[in-house]
Amino acid sequence: MTSLFIILMGVQGSGKGVQASFIRQRYGGIPHVSTGDLFRAMRTRQDDFARQIQQIMAEGKLISDEITCKVVEERLALPDAQNGLIFDGFPRTIPQAEWLQQHLASKGQKIGAVLVMQLDLYDAFRRAFGRVSAASGESFNIYSNSAGIDWKWVDHPDAKSNANEAHPARLEAHLKSSGERLIRRLDDANAHAIIKRIDAYLAETKPLIPFYAAQGVVHEIDASQPIEAVSAAIQTVLDHAQRSA
Nearer to ligand AMP by Cβ, of 14 and 68: the residue is 68
The CB-side HSE value for 95 (13 A sphere, CA atoms) comes to 9
Q: Does the footprint of ligand AMP cover residue 68 (CB under 6 A)?
A: yes
CB within 8 Å of 22: residues ≥ 6 apart = 231, 234
99 forms part of the interface with ligand AMP (CB under 6 A): no
Task: Please state the closest distance from residue 138 (CB atom) to ligand AMP, in A.
Answer: 23
14 touching ligand AMP, by CB under 6 A: no
- Nearer to ligand AMP among residue 19 and residue 96 (C-beta): 96
The pattern of x and - marking residues 16 through 35 that bind ligand AMP according to CB under 6 A reads: ------------------xx
Minimal distance, residue 206 CB to ligand AMP, in Å: 15
Q: Determine which residue in the list 36, 148, 207, 210 makes contact with ligand AMP, applying CB under 6 A.
A: 36
Alpha carbons 42 and 54: distance in angstroms, whole number = 8
Distance CA 239, CA 203 (A): 30
For residue 145, the cross-strand partners are 141
Q: What is the DSSP letter of 2?
A: -
Q: Binding to ligand AMP by residue 112, rule CB under 6 A? A: no
In sequence order, the β-bridge partners of residue 218 are: 114
Give phi and psi for 46, each to the nearest 5: -105, 0
Q: Does 89 sit near ligand AMP (CB under 6 A)? A: yes
Judged on CB neighbours under 10 Å (0-12, 13-18, 19+), 69 is buried
184 is catalytic: no
Q: Write the CA distances from 152 to 45, 65, 191, integer angstroms.
A: 41, 44, 17
Annotated catalytic residue, options 45, 160, 185, 196? 185
Positions annotated as catalytic residues are 16, 92, 131, 185, 197
- Using CB under 6 A, list all residues that contact ligand AMP: 34-36, 39, 56-57, 60-63, 68, 89-92, 96
